[in-house]
Amino acid sequence: MQQQPIEEVPKYDPISPAAMQTNMYIILYARSTLAATAGAAAGILGLTGTTGFVFFFAASAVMSAALVLRTGFNPNKYFPQNRGWMQISTGEVVNSLFSYMLFWTLFSGLVHLFE
Amino acid sequence: MALNQVGGFILAASLALIAHSGYSAVEHISFAKTTHAGASMPIDITAECLIGLLGSIFGVVLFAGDLREIKMDREMSTRSVDT
């Protein structure tokens, strides 16, 4: 008598797409506000050149820490495929860099250029 | 008071701090130009700007709302079978 090999049942683990979209939108909203606020701060303080970019990456790191605190140090619960840490700390960073430069030049011009 | 509203207040207060420090910086630069003294930014304007930035970071994270868990069984447990 031939023994049938036991087939493995594939693990069925559905993921809600509405929840994924909500979480991505929260990260987008937080990083866009960070770009505007940090750009205003850099313009007011009069930072120029490399110092301004270092300031942006430092502010982004603080925002990543705040987001990790919000997820309760377990971001894999909120993002799929076990990429939670990567998504929280590097999601939308380069996108917000351009908005940061826009607000930075705007506020530098407003505060530091005078007649 | 919900976490949303606390975040909203902190965010609004931090934006007001940044705006106030910006206006103070403009006043200080025009003052320094007329009296030719003290060309560097005073420490209290810098501190006000940085405190406003930190407050806005934590305020917007609180204001943006709760993150939702993605596993479908957790999502379904919040809804009931009856309509």
- Residue A59 domain-assigned (yes or no): yes
Q: Quick one: tokens of B16?
A: 């007001």
How many CA atoms are closer than 13 Å to the CA of A101, on its beta-carbon side? Answer: 8
Distance CA B4, CA B65 (A): 6
Q: Given an 8 Å threshold on Cβ–Cβ distance, is B49 in contact with A45?
A: yes
Across the interface, do A38 and B53 touch by the CB < 8 Å criterion?
Answer: yes
Closest CA to A38 of B59, B56, B21, B60: B56
Sequence-distant (≥ 6) Cβ neighbours of residue A56 within 8 angstroms: A38, A42, A97, A100
- Range with the lowest mean pLDDT among A54-68, A94-108, B38-52? B38-52
Strand partners, B71: A15
Judge whether A62 lies within some domain: yes
Decide if A51 is inside a domain.
yes
Residue-wise burial string across A22-58, b where 16 or more C-beta atoms lie within 10 A, e elsewhere: bbeebbebbbbbbbbbbbbbbbbbbbeeeebeebbee
CA distance B19 to chain A (A): 9
The more confident residue out of A1 and A98 is A98
Size of interface A-B (CB pairs under 8 A): 100
Q: Which residues pair with A15 in a beta bridge?
A: B71
Q: What is the pLDDT of residues B35-60, one digit of tens each?
A: 877 778 889 999 999 999 999 999 99
* Residue B16 CB partners (closer than 8 Å, separation 6+): B52
Query: Which domain covers residue A50, as residue numbers?
Result: 34-111
**Minimal CA separation from B62 to chain A, in Å:** 8
CB atoms A78 and B61 under 8 Å:
no
Domains in chain A, number: 1
Tokens linked to A1: 């008598």
A71 within some domain: yes
Confidence at residue A9, expressed as pLDDT on a 0 to 100 scale:
65
> Which of the four pLDDT bands, split at 50, 70 and 90, describes residue B74?
low
Q: Classify residue B26 as exposed, middle or buried by CB count within 10 Å of its CB (0-12, 13-18, 19+).
A: middle
pLDDT tens-digit series, residues A2-40:
666 666 666 777 788 888 899 999 999 999 999 999 999
**Mutation target vs A (from B60, B63, B78; most A CBs, 10 A cutoff):** B60
Q: Are the C-beta atoms of residues A59 and A34 closer than 8 Å to each other?
A: yes
Span B3-39, pLDDT tens digits: 889 999 999 999 999 999 999 999 999 888 888 777 7
In chain A, what residues touch B23 (CB-CB under 8 Å)? none
